[in-house]
Amino acid sequence: MRVRRRGLVMLAAFVSALACAPADEPPPTGSSSRLSNETSTAQAGAPGIGDPDFPQDGNGGYDVSHYDLVIDYTPTTKRLEGVTTIKAGATQDLSSFNLDLAGLGVRQVTVGGSPATFTRQGDELTVRPASKIRTGSTFTVRVAYSGVPKPAKDSANLGTYGFIATADGAFVASEPNGSKTWFPGNDHPADKATFDFAITVPAGVVALANGEQTGQPTTVGGKTTYRWRERHPMATYLATATMGKFETRSGSTPAGIPNFAAADPKFKSSLDGLYTTSGEITDYWSQVFGPYPFSSTGGMVDDYSAGYALENQTKPLYGGFDPDESIIAHELAHQWFGNSLSIKRWKDLWLNEGFATYAEWLWSEHKGSKTAEAFFNEYRQRPADDAIWKYPPGRAKPNDLFNQSVYTRGGMTLHALRQAIGDATFFSLLKTWTAQHRYGHVTTESFVDLAERLSGKQLDALFDAWLFQPRRPA
Ligand code: TRP
Ligand code: ZN
């Protein structure tokens, strides 16, 4: 009943907008800002999407709906030839707009099929189309580029990320802002889009990307092209084009979700465990967190000693080790927390890492090992001068984003919440949270609001102590 009424109201608004909009313009999508746009001249899109901690990441003035990535990679020369075609909608009149791209040479840019001029400055590629783009219109940008991708560096926690060449291909794990090391785009999780990949590699090399394969690989003249499609919205940092020698296994989870695992020959003995455990955990999380958000699950183990894993959408990537159940539980929990529900700004990263860490504890408890409560109590006993108490996890620092506090104290925050509101409300909160924001964006405030609404409790003091104070909660 409520749904139908809302539908009618929206339809009425749409029709009246059509009636008064000029014939060549789509109906306005939002506020009265359209009036001022009509009187002002077209503006340059902002070089950043508006994340105060990462002012250059992403871009303003448009929203990407789809990336079509065509990549040809030669492991022996480490050279990548790429053509990226982006479909986007303008959120303002645009005289020019930016894409994020680090290094690599740009050969040609077209907008709507017409050549556009472009300039480079740092990691910003500024595109000036031949004619201005009107707010509300959709447009297509095509960038032809090539070069030897250079990975990005994080000094605090993770080392190298982005496109990392390996002996037989590449290990591609781009969080937080490394997608610009291998394709031009709007490199911030506030702008998600669907992806198509066509990746060409020397015959014998395998190319793995997000989502599912569309058809069999085709080999022509000693080169094989693999095609993959992620048909649900995805943040750029979760996109991967991991290449190399791989053994693969595909099928479905016991509950029927398509499952695909891959392992470098050096980790051949990990393949069946990765496949089976990923299937079992995906099915369990679907019970605990709500329906699996994507069209397939799985994972990949590459022979690159990253020592960590990344939750690449549908295909977490494990770097140079045999993944145990705990890390598989972590990366698969991210498919809900981080991938389906994405953060709008990096300081809310505990919404990803705190939840995925808590999921490790829940998995252990489910398996009859250590309970979440026991994990919580153990960490709670860390001395008052321990580093996790100094770092408030609710405000992840740009120069120390992946601090242990964001993971551990973030997870503890959820356990403190569970103790305060009880198991029934806590687990229904998790499901309501994932349902309400499926494929969307979240903030810490929206989580606190929902927790208070579902529990009927005032929880500001709890969240303040656990997320925002530089000291151990009382
Ligand atoms: N999000 C990863 C995790 O599951 C950690 C991570 C952050 C990472 N950035 C990365 C891993 C880059 C690989 C590459 O905790
Ligand atoms: Zn994580």
Q: Is 132 helix (H, G, I), strand (E, B) or coil?
A: coil
Do 253 and 355 lie in one domain? The reply is no
Do 347 and 328 lie in one domain? The reply is no
Please give the Cα distance from 161 to 74 (Å, whole number).
20
Asked whether the predicted pLDDT for residue 65 surpasses 60, the reply is yes
Radius of gyration (Cα) for the chain, nearest Å?
A: 23
CA-based angle 15:21:23, to the nearest 5? 105
Which residues contact residue 366 at a Cβ distance below 8 angstroms, ignoring those fewer than 6 apart? 284
Do 307 and 397 lie in one domain? The reply is no
Please give the Cα distance from 8 to 1 (Å, whole number).
11
Do 83 and 122 lie in one domain? The reply is yes
Predicted pLDDT at 154: 80
Secondary element (H or E) of residue 86: strand 79-90
DSSP character string of 423-450: HHHHHHHHHHHHHHTTTSEE-HHHHHHH
Predicted pLDDT at 279: 98
Average pLDDT over residues 357-380: 98
- 33 CA from centroid of ligand 2 (Å): 38
Asked whether the predicted pLDDT for residue 417 surpasses 50, the reply is yes
User: Does residue 159's CB lie within 6 angstroms of at least one atom of ligand 1?
Assistant: no
Mean of pLDDT over the chain:
92
The residue type found at 301 is V
Of all atoms in ligand 1, which is nearest to the CA of residue 309? 11
% of residues, the chain, pLDDT over 90: 89
Domain count within the chain: 2
The residue nearest atom 5 of ligand 1, judged by CA position, is: 310
The residue nearest atom 6 of ligand 1, judged by CA position, is: 310
Cβ atoms of residues 186 and 59 within 8 Å: yes
Q: How many CB atoms lie within 10 A of CB 442?
A: 22
Range of the domain at 329: 35-333
Q: Tokens 């919440």: give the residue.
A: 417
Average pLDDT over residues 223-227: 98
Please give the Cα distance from 88 to 6 (Å, whole number).
27
Whether residue 19 is contained in a domain is answered as: no
- 173 CA from centroid of ligand 2 (Å): 12
Asked whether the predicted pLDDT for residue 274 surpasses 90, the reply is yes
Asked whether the predicted pLDDT for residue 89 surpasses 80, the reply is yes
- 308 CA from centroid of ligand 1 (Å): 7
Average pLDDT over residues 171-191: 98
Of all atoms in ligand 1, which is nearest to the CA of residue 331? 4
Do 180 and 325 lie in one domain? The reply is yes
CATH code of 367's domain: 1.10.390.10
CATH code of 302's domain: 2.60.40.1730
- 128 CA from centroid of ligand 1 (Å): 34
- DSSP annotation of 355 reads H
Do 384 and 288 lie in one domain? The reply is no
* pLDDT per residue as tens digits for the range 230-255: 999 999 999 999 999 999 999 999 99
User: Does residue 172's CB lie within 6 angstroms of at least one atom of ligand 1?
Assistant: no
129 CB-contact burial (10 Å; exposed 0-12 / middle 13-18 / buried 19+): buried
